[in-house]
Chain A
Amino acid sequence: MSIQEQYKKRVRELLSSGAVKMVIGYQAGTTADRRRPLFIRTPEEAEKLVLDSACIANLSGYLVTEGLLSDEKSVGIFLRPDGIRSINILAAEAQLNPEQVVILGFDGNDKEVTALQGEKARDFSAIIASIKEHAPEAPRNPQLEQIEKMSPKERFAFWQAEFSRCIKCYACRQACPMCYCRRCIVDSNQPQWVNTSSHTLGNLEWNVVRAFHLSGRCVGCGNCDRACPVNIPLRLINAKMAGEVLGAFDHFAGMSETQEPVLASFKKDDSETFIL
């Protein structure tokens, strides 16, 4: 039985036994290479499920939809390891109760996917620990290395050019599982912290604010990068920041549901290279 068929069976079981009220997965999209989020509420609807290498989107953001988990019922969700890390962060930041999340885990490359054993986020801690362990030797994005070699002036010019295309549609924010704020700082106007206009300064402010807000929280799922309609390479910024917090604080986002948020916690032995 293919992994897709195995998981269809599992989804039917979960729904008919009442273990979950809904399963969030993938279905076919407009074109052969596209997949759409799917919300399965009856065993019959499981037939629409597609699970293959084109299922890339991190669906965990849907779990924090207002009211979804407030009835304390469980929801099933298809997640790759990065999505499971998102669940850990959302749990650590008190946005959801991980006991309500039944994970249908999978992993793979651009050709095939394999099932991951486990059900609750904590069941996958060994996999996540191994990803962290191998993080330093993982191949680095060549474009990121190129940017790191630039002088600060060149780098600023590079990002200025990239951000000049930003139209402030906030697709990056809306696609990001970590951007769950009911009211984003850019939507606050008493006072107006960040310019809402999509001009040079406004675009720079927005993207820098987001980069800092995601430092130590981004799992590199790529949702923002794929969502950007003008193709700003957002994942490079987040990958850079993730590298910084890993180097400075040995913090790898989403290790466990009790992991302290790196920018909201203090340890006596944190290095103080610039504060005092």
Chain B
Amino acid sequence: MTRILLSDKLDNCVARWRKAGLTVIGPVKKETSSSYATVEKAADFDFGIVLPDRSIKELFFPQTEPMMGYTIKKQDIATNDFAPPTEERIIFGARPCDASGLAIDDPLFGWDYKDDFWFQRRNETVIVTIACTKADDFCMCTSLKLAPDSTKGSDVLLRPLQNNKGWLVEELTDRGREAFKEISEFLQEGSEQAAPLAVVPEKFNLDSCIAWLKNPENFDSTFWKEISMRCIGCGSCTFLCPTCHCFDFQDEGDTYSGIRRKNWDSCSFSLFTMHTSGHNPRSTQSARWRQRIMHKFNYFPGKFSVNSCSGCGRCTRQCPVDMGITETLQAISTLKP
């Protein structure tokens, strides 16, 4: 016997969580684009989406965030720090790749400086992940040694029932157990089977790719130029990526008042490494694409012992010129280390 949450009880759960002061968030399709967004009732969810267009990242690391403000008057200067917002949240229906992405970024945001904005949101958010029973041509979690039912980064894992009427509940953390205690009266015991997981074929051999990337001789390989020739240098792949985390500080305002903001930045942009002198150490798009791949599969794991990719496939799925990590690693797989 396992604990089961039936879909027709979800409305009660959402209401209960909201009553308890939680903001309920889930996969939502609005107009022509999907994302993880706030819901008010069960009908607002769209569990049919294989993967929302936008990743879960923005709920923890928004595209723009005020850090500090200043006002200068004749006599005095005042500054104010923007504190991270306080909001207890539950994300219901995260995908395993998205939840994994958050766990991958945790060590980064807590490494030399503890990012309170990230960790406050992490600590105040319960992540209820739904295992995938559908995948598309771009999904590649298995190639990253993850799976359609990975529990990494999740507080609760739900497995869709074979009869499609609800989910099997697997509580993984205390935070998850607490959130589900709140709705325990809507759960029931059952013996229904879980639906089969999505089949996600392995697209490349990660270990052989990493071996090739670690060989310093390959840093200057002509491969980089060939593979990235069609890259147009936009930030779509990095901004949609659940693990890309680079940001820039920008001051907005004038001499008398303004705000310092933390904005998403992208290694695909030519300005990303531009020096004030005008020199750019990554002056070509191929050097920038190499950096993205090296960072994810060589430098990041070198520092944090985990690859900075959870296999969501958004980079390829949304690329205007059909590039992405999959194609690059597939090509590297065929090269001699």
Residues of chain A at the chain B interface (Cβ within 8 Å): 29-31, 34-37, 39, 57, 61-62, 161-162, 165, 167-171, 173-175, 187, 192, 195-199, 202, 223, 226-227, 229-231, 233
Nearest residue, chain B, Cβ from A230: B33
Give the docked Cα–Cα distance between A106 and B33 (Å): 32
Which residues of B are found within 8 Å of A171, using beta-carbon distances? 232, 234-236, 320
- Chain B residues within 8 Å of A, Cβ to Cβ: 31-33, 53-54, 63-64, 137-138, 229-230, 232-236, 238-240, 248, 250, 252, 261, 263-264, 266, 269, 271, 316, 318, 320-324, 326-327
Chain B hits for A174, CB < 8 A = 232-234, 320
Known: A167-B240, A197-B250. 20 other contacts (CB 8 A): A30-B138, A30-B324, A30-B327, A34-B322, A35-B322, A36-B321, A37-B321, A39-B229, A57-B321, A167-B63, A167-B235, A169-B234, A169-B235, A169-B236, A174-B320, A175-B234, A196-B250, A198-B63, A198-B263, A227-B236
Complex: chain A residue closest to B62, CB-CB: A198
- A196 cross-chain contacts in B, Cβ below 8 A: 248, 250, 263
Q: A30-B322, A57-B321 are in contact. Are A197 and B252 (CB under 8 A)?
A: yes
Q: In the complex, are the beta carbons of A231 and B230 less than 8 A apart?
A: no
Determine which of B64, B230, B236 lies in contact with A39 in the assembled complex, contact meaning CB atoms within 8 Å: B230
A274 CA to B154 CA in the complex, in Å?
Answer: 59
- Distance in angstroms between the alpha carbons of A202 and B233 in the assembled complex: 21
Residue of A nearest to B233 (CB): A174
Given A169-B235, A171-B235, A231:B64 Cβ within 8 A: no
A175-B232, A197-B261 as given contacts; A202 in contact with B239, CB under 8 Å = no
Contacts of A36 in B (CB 8 A): 230, 321-323
Is A230 touching B320 in the complex (CB atoms < 8 A)? no
Q: Which residues of B contact A229 (CB under 8 A)?
A: 53, 236, 239-240, 318
CA distance A39 to B264 in the complex (A): 32
Q: How distant is the Cα of A230 from the Cα of B235 in the complex, in angstroms? A: 12
Query: Max chain A CB contacts within 10 Å: which of B32, B239, B320, B326?
Result: B320
Top 6 nearest A-B pairs (CB, nearest first) are A227-B320, A171-B234, A169-B235, A174-B234, A231-B32, A174-B232
| B232: A residues at CB distance < 8 A | 61, 171, 174-175, 227
A31 to B137, Cβ gap below 8 A?
A: yes
Contact residues in B for A227 (Cβ distance below 8 Å): 232, 234, 236, 320
Closest to B251 in A: A192
Q: In the complex, what distance in Å separates the CA atom of A168 from the CA atom of B248? A: 13
The interface residues of chain B lying within 8 Å CB-to-CB of A35 are 322
Residues in B whose Cβ lies below 8 Å from that of A37:
230, 321
